[in-house]
Chain A
Amino acid sequence: MTRVSTLGELAGSLAHELNQPLTAILSNAQAAQRFLATEPVNLAEVREILHDLVDDTHRASEVIRKIRALVKKGDIEAAPLSVASVIRDVTLLVHSDAIVRGIRMRVTVAPELPPVHGDKVQLQQVVLNLLLNAFDALESCPALDREVAIAVTLEAGDIRVAVRDSGTGLPGNKFDKLFLPFFTSKRDGLGLGLSISRSIVEMHGGSIWAQNNEDRGATFYFTLPTQSSAWRGTRRRQPWARRHRLSSWWTTTPRYAGR
């Protein structure tokens, strides 16, 4: 898992990559305004600025294209895998983080679950994202109440993963918005984690949603079709027919130094 950056790191490095061309665009545009305000206008300078503005804009849209490519259909490696092992890998990864934050993690996995067909790394990202969000939701909780429960069950032929926290719950009642890109309630969040998670889950033929718990906190659910449920009817289409190359950008995104 260490070779893969978490969605948070990924978002941080994307933020940096977008910020650079935006900085250049703003300064170039403001320089052009100043050059145009002086007589005689230095047209050569303004022409150069416009040329650079085009380049800077291309660079910014290239970053956006990378975000899209990250979760593009087909660009993943699909294989039969056990959701339980995905959960196990991720909980091991965040184990020390949970201890530091004083959070208890409880994992319950129903016995003899059928395998799903999917991309291990991407599904790990989804679980990791939901877990870290749950951890963040517990930030302002009294230490004794900090608990995250993960439950994996079989519901109508689909595997259902529930990540339940005992935090303050989700504000309002429009939980669909949570999964839109750049929607965030965190002070320094970019709002990409859940939208990327949704893309990944939907690409696997599943769905993702959130609910407030009756007592307190919130639960995030996602489902994944098992081989039998995928076979069962035409309502779900297997989104890939053969093994695809894993997006190289996903695995080689550098951690931005100094964050």
Chain B
Amino acid sequence: MVDDDPAVCRALTRLIRSAGYCVEAFGSAHEFLECCPDIQGCACLVLDVGLPDINGLDLQNELNSTKRPLPIIFITGDGDIAMTVRAMKAGATDFLAKPVNDSDLLPAIANALRVSSQALSSRIELDGIHGRMARLTPREREVLALLVEGRPNKQSACELGIAEKTIKVHRARVMEKMEAHSLVDLVS
């Protein structure tokens, strides 16, 4: 939760906590950015647009350029259509007007956390694939690329200038290292 008004920040933090979420409050964009890389797991950001140091929309851009962008729910006292459109286009999950009702804010948070958890699980999967890829030798990686394209062994062997038998050996190693049981498994 980032809002420069201490009273608003405290009240909203309380409301979010009353719904059973863990919530941390920050008084400025800089304060938030200092701790931002430490945020692990499923999380979202409730962000005031009119911050004194960095405008909320600019903070959104900055976060979007990082490896793990957080889903953002914007809250503002004087939003206009242009501002809303800009925020939503940049991937905000919600844009709410102050004073914000719990019946709007809490479902918005639940939704943002769902988005975050989906991103998290696909990232874990991707990290696993990258980890397995790292085990391959350069030659095995070349074989993998051709396998995924659907080339027959013979053609791959010809392209890489090696024997078809050698390709078969590489192929078996690739399958083993990538923890794939079949070609379909590997491609997906």
- A residues 1-29 with Cβ under 8 Å of B? 12, 15-16, 19-28
A30→B100 CA distance, assembly (Å): 10
Indicate if A144 sits at the interface (CB-CB under 8 A): no
Flag if A28 contacts B11 (CB, 8 Å).
Answer: yes
List the A residue with the shortest CB-CB distance to B103: A30
Indicate if A59 sits at the interface (CB-CB under 8 A): yes
Indicate if B10 sits at the interface (CB-CB under 8 A): yes
Q: Choose among A15, A23, A31, A258 the residue that contacts B8 (Cβ–Cβ < 8 A).
A: A23
Indicate if A110 sits at the interface (CB-CB under 8 A): no
Flag if A16 contacts B99 (CB, 8 Å).
Answer: no
- A residues 40-97 with Cβ under 8 Å of B? 45, 49, 52, 55-56, 59
Measured CB to CB, the closest approach of chain A to B16, in angstroms, equals 8
List the B residue with the shortest CB-CB distance to A16: B77
Indicate if B98 sits at the interface (CB-CB under 8 A): yes
Flag if A49 contacts B78 (CB, 8 Å).
Answer: no
Q: If A23-B8, A24-B8 touch, does A16 touch B78 (CB 8 Å cutoff)?
A: yes
Q: Choose among A16, A28, A256, A258 the residue that contacts B14 (Cβ–Cβ < 8 A).
A: A28
A52→B55 CA distance, assembly (Å): 27
Flag if B78 contacts A31 (CB, 8 Å).
Answer: no
Q: Which residues of A contact B49 (CB under 8 A)?
A: 258
Indicate if B122 sits at the interface (CB-CB under 8 A): no
Flag if A52 contacts B77 (CB, 8 Å).
Answer: no
Measured CB to CB, the closest approach of chain B to A148, in angstroms, equals 27
Flag if A34 contacts B102 (CB, 8 Å).
Answer: yes
Question: How many pairs of residues, A versus B, come closer than 8 Å at their CB atoms?
Answer: 77
Q: If A30-B101, A30-B102, A34-B19 touch, does A23 touch B78 (CB 8 Å cutoff)?
A: no
- B residues 98-143 with Cβ under 8 Å of A? 98-102
Indicate if B2 sits at the interface (CB-CB under 8 A): no
Q: Which residues of B contact A21 (CB under 8 A)?
A: 7
Q: If A28-B11, A55-B7, A257-B50 touch, does A20 touch B100 (CB 8 Å cutoff)?
A: no
A223→B10 CA distance, assembly (Å): 49
A45→B11 CA distance, assembly (Å): 11
A259→B50 CA distance, assembly (Å): 10
Q: Choose among B8, B14, B18 the residue that contacts A20 (Cβ–Cβ < 8 A).
A: B8
Q: Can you list 13 contacts pairing A with B, beta carbon distance less than 8 Å?
A: A19-B78, A19-B98, A23-B8, A24-B5, A24-B8, A25-B99, A26-B101, A27-B8, A31-B17, A31-B102, A52-B7, A258-B50, A258-B78
Given contacts A35-B18, A52-B10, A258-B78, 9 further A-B contacts (CB under 8 A): A20-B98, A22-B99, A23-B11, A24-B10, A30-B15, A31-B14, A31-B17, A34-B19, A258-B55
Binding site for B on A (CB under 8 A): 12, 15-16, 19-28, 30-31, 34-35, 45, 49, 52, 55-56, 59, 256-259
The 9 closest A-B pairs by CB, nearest first: A34-B18, A27-B11, A23-B99, A24-B11, A31-B14, A31-B15, A26-B99, A24-B7, A23-B98
